[in-house]
Structure 1
Amino acid sequence: MEIALLQTDIAWGDKKVNLEQVEQLMNQHLGAQLYVLPEMFATGFMVGEGVAVEPVGGDVHRWMVQKATQKGCAIAGSVAVEENGRLYNRFYFVTPDGATWHYDKRHLFTYAGEDKRYTKGEDRVVVRYGGLRFLLQVCYDLRFPVFSRNRGDYDVAIYVANWPTARLFAWQTLLRARAIENQCFVLGVNRVGNDPANAYSGGTVALDPQGQTLAECRANEVDVARATLSLEALEQLRRSFPVMRDGDVFIL
């Protein structure tokens, strides 16, 4: 599968500007079967007063459905959503036929007060698309390996984030750890630029199941990284080096 990871500079709270930027990058890098966008790609990571949220089926989600169907691709990224009076950091995965799966971020970033505004999700979500199985994860989830432990139920883990430069080493290290320990491809998509709280330098990368880099974006630049994910190569590795079969059995 051909994938494209979009490392954007998110304009604070400006959906129009951010969606235009994403569409321009997609048009410059046509032909991917899956485009992955950062966490809260349409607004920035908003957790304080004046959070820019949308209802279920709101403007950003409709835009994702429209572009996915027009371009014949899947689009993935997180959006701040209000449902039944509660806010969720919701990771949407939209397929070319307009179907939508979603995962609500489980591990809320208490250090920034995300837990005071948002409700944590409870369900682990794996999406089947194009012959691959994708585990959906958001930013801070990366620090909690038990929740993302591969139970033989996914091939690719996607982490979308607004991960600050100050902690970039942790981002880079943990992404590789998740790939190696779970024998899976890992797609880590971060942003660049600044918001009122932090500076961001990117670190967007596609990793193979041994933690090696398949493709990466340039630091501190709006950029797109493209890679090919081969299920055949993944299955061959799992057969020849059966780490997952030797793992511990547990129930979460």
Structure 2
Amino acid sequence: MEDKKDSLKIALVQSLLHWENPAVNRQMFSDKFEQITEQVDLIVLPEMFSTGFTMSPSNIRKEEGSITMRWMQEMASIKNCAIVGSIVFEEDGSYYNRLFFVKPEGNFESYDKRHTFTLAGENEKYSAGTERLIVEYKGFSICPLICYDLRFPVWSRNTQNFDMLLYTANWPGKRIAAWDALLKARAIENMVYCIGVNRIGTDSLGHQYPGHSSIYDPLGELQAFTKEEEIKIVKVEKSKVDKIKNKLRFLDDRDEFSLLD
């Protein structure tokens, strides 16, 4: 049984990515993890951290998904913390933008990106997920989502009394104002911590990514922000979420709804 805590120390790993090269990316992140010398509870990586946001998943060997997932398990054990990020994953002849939340003992849960990015043709290459994931970890209820999901408040809506929304992303500079605004909005409307981890650098298609990885508290106050290639370590407190929810009780007045598909 996991120890419950009032706080989580979270490492936001904002990094460039090597295009369609899982082995090089795994080694790069292994090296970055060595820079984390203090004990953290959770490491958050960008979307498709082992390949970049490729729309050519057939360029990636089928075995790479399982190899990267096992690497996450190994790193979670070495660092004695959970690791979360999404990768290209092939299963039963279909490709998924699949997020893994791997715990220190090696157990994991997964989420397939619900809203595939039609502007880039992601919907034509990757199968969309249908189920939301809520992870229970050290006393926190965490809802991990992926990039484009951020634009859809119904899918992010706090109907299960979670404490944290977490978005792993490859969000381009052309629309970075929307990223900043929507992360803050998701925190406020759901009364949770909202965490977004983006990549930096330019990919092989010429898309530029400015970072802006950040954490907002349940009132929309900015707790952390970076534009640099760096690892940002921030502590969040569950008692802060509980205090704000219990005092303001805005979620008691939320609209009831059901998703039909």
TM-score of the pair, normalised by structure 1: 0.95
- Superposed, 1:48-197 pairs within 5 Å as 48=56, 50-52=58-60, 54-55=62-63, 58-197=66-205
Q: Is the 8 A contact 2:180 2:212 kept in 1?
A: yes
Percent of aligned pairs with the same amino acid? 40
- Which of 238, 243, 246 is residue 253 of structure 2 equivalent to? 246
SS of 1:102 mapped into structure 2: strand
Aligned residues: 250
Partner AA of 1:201 in structure 2: P
SS of 1:11 mapped into structure 2: coil
Task: Specify every segment of 5 or more residues in structure 1 that has no aligned partner in the other structure, as ranges.
Answer: none
Q: Is the 8 A contact 1:56 1:83 kept in 2?
A: no
Q: 1:49 to 1:93 in 2, by over 3 A?
A: closer
Cα distance in structure 2, aligned partners of 1:249 and 1:53:
44
1:187-240 alpha-carbon deviations (Å, 9 max, x no partner): 1000001112311110101111111111122x2x31111111111111011011
SS of 1:186 mapped into structure 2: strand
Give the corresponding residue for 2:3: none
Task: Specify every segment of 5 or more residues in structure 2 that has no aligned partner in the other structure, as ranges.
Answer: 1-7
- Which of 193, 203, 210 is residue 201 of structure 1 equivalent to? 210
Q: 1:200 to 1:57 in 2, by over 3 A?
A: closer
Cα distance in structure 2, aligned partners of 1:47 and 1:56:
16
Q: Is the 8 A contact 1:46 1:52 kept in 2?
A: no
TM-score of the pair, normalised by structure 2: 0.92
Q: Is the 8 A contact 1:205 1:225 kept in 2?
A: no
Q: Is the 8 A contact 1:2 1:226 kept in 2?
A: yes
Partner AA of 1:226 in structure 2: I
SS of 1:245 mapped into structure 2: helix
Q: Indicate yes or no: 2:223 matched with 1:214.
A: yes
RMSD over aligned CA atoms reads 1.4
Deviating more after overlay: 27-36 vs 45-54: 45-54
1:80-125 alpha-carbon deviations (Å, 9 max, x no partner): 0001110000000000110010000000001001011100000010
Partner AA of 1:2 in structure 2: K
Q: Is the 8 A contact 1:81 1:88 kept in 2?
A: yes
Give the corresponding residue for 1:29: 36
Partner AA of 1:36 in structure 2: V
Give the corresponding residue for 1:235: 242
- Which of 2, 16, 23 is residue 16 of structure 1 equivalent to? 23
Partner AA of 1:235 in structure 2: D
Q: Is the 8 A contact 1:4 1:227 kept in 2?
A: yes
Give the corresponding residue for 2:5: none
Cα distance in structure 2, aligned partners of 1:214 and 1:42:
27
Partner AA of 1:216 in structure 2: F
Q: 1:154 to 1:196 in 2, by over 3 A?
A: same
How far residue 149 of structure 1 moved from its aligned partner, in angstroms, is: 0.3
1:17-52 alpha-carbon deviations (Å, 9 max, x no partner): 212221222221231110000000011001137442
Partner AA of 2:238 in structure 1: L
